[in-house]
Amino acid sequence: MKWIKRYGPYLVLYGVAFLWIIPILWMADTAFKPTRDIFSIPPKWIPSHFTTEHVERLFAEWPFARWLLNSLVVASFVTLGSLVVSVPAAFSFSRLRWRGRDAVFMFLLVFMLLPWQVNVIPLFFMMTKFRFLNTYQGVALPMIAMPIGVFLLRQFFINIPRDLEDAARIDGCSSLGVLLRVILPLSKPVLAAFGVYIFNYAWNEFFWSMICLRKPQMVTLPVGLKILQGAFEIDYGLILAGAFMASLPSLMVFLLLRRQIIRGFTLAGSGVKG
Amino acid sequence: MGLKGRGAIPAPFSKMRKRIGRFFYRHPGVEGFLFALPYMALWAVFLAWPVVYGIYISLFDWDPLRGSRFVGLANYLELFREPRFWNAVTNTFKFAGMAIPLILGLGLVFALMVWGWGRKRRGIVVVQASLFFPYLLTVSIVAIVWKWLLERDVGLFQHFLSSVLPSAPVFLTEPAWALPAIAIATAWWLAGYRMLVFQAGLEEIPVELFESAEIDGALPYHKLVHLILPLLKPSLLFALVLTTISAFRTFGQVLIMTEGGPGWASEVLALYLYRVGFDYFDIGKAAASGVVLLFLILVITLLGVRILGLKSELQ
Amino acid sequence: MRKVLMVLFILSVGLGLQTLAAKPIKLTFNTLFHEADAKAMEKIIQMFNEEYKGNIEVELIQGRWAQYYAELRLSVLAGTPPQIGICHTNKLVEMADYLTPLNASPVGDLIEMAGVDPANYVDAAWAAGEIEGRHYLIPLDTHGWGLWYNKDIFAEVGLDPENPPRTLAEFIDACERIKAAGYYAFHPAEDALPRKLRRAWYVFFWQMGGQLFDEAYTHATFNNPKGLLALQFLVDIFNDFGWNEPGSNGYNQFAAGKLGMLVAGNWFYGTAVKSGVNWGYAPMPNFFGTPYTWGNSHQLVIPLQPKGTPKEVYLAAMEVIKFISEHSYIWTMYGGHITAYKPAAENPELLASEYWTRSGKWLNEMAQKGLVHYPINHPKGSELEHAIQAQIELAVNGVISPQEALAKAEEECNKILQGG
């Protein structure tokens, strides 16, 4: 009995975690199986031999590396852009007083509920006029405009004690000074958390990227994968090799920065506490 | 002027700064507004304007080549008369009804597990990481992998299920099981983040409360319902809002896993909207369904917040 | 001061000369191709850009067919269309307003000016490009479904691997034998996606001489004994006959060596070769009267250009189109679709290629004989087809009876056509 009490939780925890990971393991397994074994009925884990043919074809026939680069550029662009505009805005909504501030903020929030499909055609025409179609800025700008960043940051800034700010103002600090010298230094973990969250959001964004980016050289990873899948619904080796290679960057970054990332998302979640 | 703070400020600039400072002191509203301006400008151009324009389009039989005709609410009426539209709405609700409890439930269970059992146990981060990792994947990967797992002939899960339970449904090809399958895949994808949110909430609960509950002889069940859940309200609100929005907007997984099939069994509103716009090129009608979708999300979210008594948390 | 003036003078002369010098005409060619056929088109355009270097430069953007037509329309509306595009034959009526009528363009009769001869193209394909005297399309290829079969399975069950079934009787016999040996006998619809099931039904229906809609597209004409028999046959394949199971993916089954016969398009070639299966290819058997098969045709178009587009641009686009036609044997060899340009179809390299000898020539035969049946051509074509395939899928999966399915499909189609 004591044995169960001692080891039971371990079993459940590790058991559930392992089951949860099976889809990923299966994806990796399939990506390196020869086509014949992929289609074997019943499915089997150990193929006759492992092969890199799908991965090789992926890089030879598709600009996969380019897709990776595009995702990196877009996600970085969005993250930096978001930080630059959302931080002052969040500061304004949380700590500066002005007429209609809260009403405007509530109104902004509504747009968090927005599905892309509602925007897409007008955005398409707008981007055509600006000549931003098929460009990094075309994909990135609407994402930067999403209120989720302002929302998260505001929640954090609200919680920073007033006294620090008051002290700074007494010393003659302007609002800009308060932002730069008081709020920002205190918010480093929060900004990091926010950065991680936004980066992941932009990295995985699918719908607007699909509409805005048409040239195969400009396409980001999620759209590239859809192209792979849509092109030939039958080439599972290639498709899953693509899926595997596409999850590799996330996996590697995750393994390296696991603690920080988890902390970041946790903060991003808990930040809403009143 | 004596040196103040970091480095000397040249004379003309310091005068200007003083003037600016005085101006903002007398007109605090302006300063606040200016700080928010860069963001608001982006928002206005890339979010607000397209929505307004979309609503505008929804009132037309939109055909720039031959001339758009103003039709008022005709697009909406056409939508409401169409069984396929109502099917899409129903499917969206069905999906949300399955996915939201699943995602939140799993997230909560995992959070309780990891937090409750993991505190003094080694390697708990590995467990946490495994449960969380799927969230970092993009929708295309999740959908492709799950479509592959549920493949009729060569899918790992489908095969396993069918061999253990001979009468098991073939998930992606049976109308009644297509949406649940997509809901399960979605839960696998998103539960990990909710787990973190709840875990953070759990860790905020002061330990003393638990100790006094122990002293009072509270059973685990009581602890859960009367202690933990009420104190998790902020996290629950956050997770609920986010999950509701996600569920109603669901598009990518459905497109890749079933294309809305079999038949129309898994066609959700977002997919229907996309098809009307991009397959049938009926832009006015697509805009109308977009407005309807937005409206639905708004109403449901507000309702959910109110019903669960979480309104106070919003402030 | 003088030095400065000198420099300015030289600069301005240089600039002036630059603008006088002919700049290459830049064109954009947007296609809906992907995978093998996209690579084939890349080859052709590469050759073009080399040959026409300095005169015409083509930028090739290959897309995803799912949204292609919407993108094309949007780009025309936005005033930035590509100069060359692709159009399926059955999309012409939908897209006509967004295309340049080639024989009545803003700068004249382009077909005549470019020296394009209709006689060089497969008749059916060329004829499909005209609406009320205005001609919009230049045929590129025909593509469609054929019968892929597993030679090893044939040999195993006592069938002649070099003589696949041609008649209904032979076909049923083959299926029963394969089924008895424990394999899946037959899959009529690739991977059984809804639109594929619909096409499979089309094949059986058309072979019986059935017509989906009346000439004027006022109502559906498929809810009748022929339509019912065709659908019953399709449903039985997956159910009563036991030749396959609902929801199964024929591609996978065939590649795994578990399927005797598969109906699939020419694009299955790559997978068939890679799967290691000993496969053969045959024209669609004659099940019910005329051995029609489902198919379509890719056509080259010039989308509607903004007002004031100069003549040179139109003519340059026609040059590209002509070049593609002349080199469309490359299109067939590497892309798999059968060229609709008669001279290219006689290219010796093509005729000797493995693709042609193993499968291409059968498809070509069907095309030449006029047995490749195109799908419906109507502005609401997509909606109609979606309505039909939803019901077909439900019938095949056993959720509703064929009678119900056809009745429902007829009802919905009529509503769509009559503006319900």
Q: If pLDDT is split at 50, 70 and 90, which confidence band does A208 have? A: confident
- Chain C positions touching A211 (Cβ under 8 A) are 67
Res B2: pLDDT: 40
Assess if residue B69 is contained within a domain.
no
Q: Name the β-bridge partners of C87.
A: C299
Res A134: pLDDT: 82
CB contact under 8 A, C251 and A215: no
The model's pLDDT over B233-251, given as tens digits with 9 standing for 90+, comes to 878 887 888 898 889 988 8
Query: How many percent of chain A have pLDDT more than 70?
Result: 93
User: B306 in contact with C at a CB cutoff of 8 Å?
Assistant: no
Ranges for all domains in chain A classified under CATH 1.10.3720.10: 55-161+191-271
CATH: 1.10.3720.10, 3.40.50.720, 3.30.750.80, 1.10.10.10. Which one for A55-161+191-271?
1.10.3720.10
CB contact under 8 A, B262 and C194: yes
CB contact under 8 A, C76 and B277: no
User: B117 in contact with C at a CB cutoff of 8 Å?
Assistant: no
Quick check: A5 pLDDT over 90?
A: no
Indicate yes or no: pTM above 0.80.
Answer: yes
Res A187: pLDDT: 78
Res C14: pLDDT: 66
Among candidates B262, B269, B264, B263, which has minimal Cα distance to B150?
Answer: B262
CB contact under 8 A, C386 and B66: no
Quick check: C337 pLDDT over 60?
A: yes
User: B66 in contact with C at a CB cutoff of 8 Å?
Assistant: yes
Average pLDDT, rounded, for chain A: 81
Query: How many percent of chain C have pLDDT more than 70?
Result: 96
CA distance A146 to A152: 11
User: Using CB atoms and an 8 Å cut-off, which of residues 289-308 of chain B contact chain A?
Assistant: 290-291, 293-294, 297-298, 301
Write out the residue range of the structural domain in which residue B160 sits: 84-314
CA-based nearest distance A50→chain B, Å: 18
CB contact under 8 A, C252 and A124: no
Q: Chain C residue with minimal CA distance to B66?
A: C97
User: A118 in contact with B at a CB cutoff of 8 Å?
Assistant: yes
Quick check: C263 pLDDT over 80?
A: yes
Res C136: pLDDT: 94
CB contact under 8 A, C251 and A231: no
Largest CA distance in chain A: 76
Select from C66, C191, C255 the Cβ nearest to the Cβ of A230: C66
- Chain B positions touching C251 (Cβ under 8 A) are none
Q: Which of A33, A35, A38, A39 to mutate to test the interface with C (most CBs of C within 10 A)?
A: A39
Token pair listed for A254: 């995750």
Average pLDDT, rounded, for chain C: 88
For residues B28 and B102, membership in a common domain is answered with no
CB contact under 8 A, B46 and A145: yes
- Chain A positions touching B17 (Cβ under 8 A) are 174
Q: Span A62-85, mean pLDDT?
A: 91
The model's pLDDT over C220-237, given as tens digits with 9 standing for 90+, comes to 999 999 999 999 999 999
> Do B132 and B192 meet the contact criterion of CB atoms below 8 Å apart?
yes
Assess if residue B100 is contained within a domain.
yes
Res A230: pLDDT: 66
Q: In this prediction, does ipTM exceed 0.85? A: no
Q: If pLDDT is split at 50, 70 and 90, which confidence band does C23 have? A: confident
CB contact under 8 A, B127 and A239: no
| Range in A25-29, A75-79, B181-185, C222-226 with the lowest mean pLDDT | A25-29
Res B4: pLDDT: 43
Residue B205's CATH number = 1.10.3720.10
Res A232: pLDDT: 53
**C-alpha distance from residue C404 to each of C391, C392, C409, C411 (Å):** 8, 10, 8, 10
Q: If pLDDT is split at 50, 70 and 90, which confidence band does A73 have? A: very high
Select from A35, A41, A227 the Cβ nearest to the Cβ of C275: A35
Quick check: C126 pLDDT over 60?
A: yes
The model's pLDDT over A7-17, given as tens digits with 9 standing for 90+, comes to 777 888 888 99
Question: Which CATH number applies to C2-140+297-326?
Answer: 3.40.190.10
Q: Which helix (H) or strand (E) holds B31?
A: helix B28-43
Res B34: pLDDT: 82
- Chain B positions touching C245 (Cβ under 8 A) are 152
CA-based nearest distance C258→chain A, Å: 9
Question: Which CATH number applies to C145-295+376-417?
Answer: 3.40.190.10
Structural domain count of chain B: 2
For residues B105 and B212, membership in a common domain is answered with yes
Mean pLDDT, each 10-residue run in order, chain B (315 residues)? 46 68 68 84 89 88 83 90 92 94 93 81 81 88 89 80 80 86 94 87 79 74 75 81 87 87 86 88 89 88 72 49
The residue that leads in pLDDT, C157 or A163, is C157
The model's pLDDT over C283-307, given as tens digits with 9 standing for 90+, comes to 999 999 999 999 999 999 999 999 8
Three-state helix/strand/coil letters over chain C = CHHHHHHHHHHHHHHHHHHHCCCCEEEEEEECCCHHHHHHHHHHHHHHHHHCCCCEEEEEEECCHHHHHHHHHHHHHHCCCCCEEEEEHHHHHHHHHHECCHHHECCECHHHHHCCCHHHECHHHHHCCEECCEECCEEEEEEEEEEEEEHHHHHHCCCCCCCCCCEHHHHHHHHHHHHHCCCEEEECCCCCCHHHHHHHHHHHHHHCCCCCECCCCCCECCCCHHHHHHHHHHHHHHCCCCCCCCCCCHHHHHHCCCEEEEEEEHHHHHHHHHHCCCEEEECCCECCCCCCEEEEEEEEECECCCCCCCHHHHHHHHHHHHHHHHCHHHHHHHHCCEECEHHHHCCHHHHHCHHHHHHHHHHHHHHHCCCEECCCCCCCHHHHHHHHHHHHHHHHCCCCCHHHHHHHHHHHHHHHHHCC
Highest mean pLDDT among A40-44, B46-50, C152-156: C152-156
User: Using CB atoms and an 8 Å cut-off, which of residues 232-261 of chain C contact chain A?
Assistant: 251-253, 255-256, 258
CB contact under 8 A, C191 and A233: yes
Res A273: pLDDT: 42
- Chain B positions touching C98 (Cβ under 8 A) are 65
Highest mean pLDDT among A165-169, C74-78, C85-89: C85-89
CA-based nearest distance B64→chain C, Å: 7
CA-based nearest distance C138→chain A, Å: 24
Select from A13, A23, A30 the Cβ nearest to the Cβ of B118: A13
Which chains contact B through at least 3 pairs of Cβ atoms less than 8 Å apart?
Answer: A, C
Q: Which of C64, C244, C253, C394 to mutate to test the interface with B (most CBs of B within 10 A)?
A: C394
Res C388: pLDDT: 93
Query: How many CB atoms lie under 10 A from the CB of residue A246?
Result: 25
User: B168 in contact with C at a CB cutoff of 8 Å?
Assistant: no
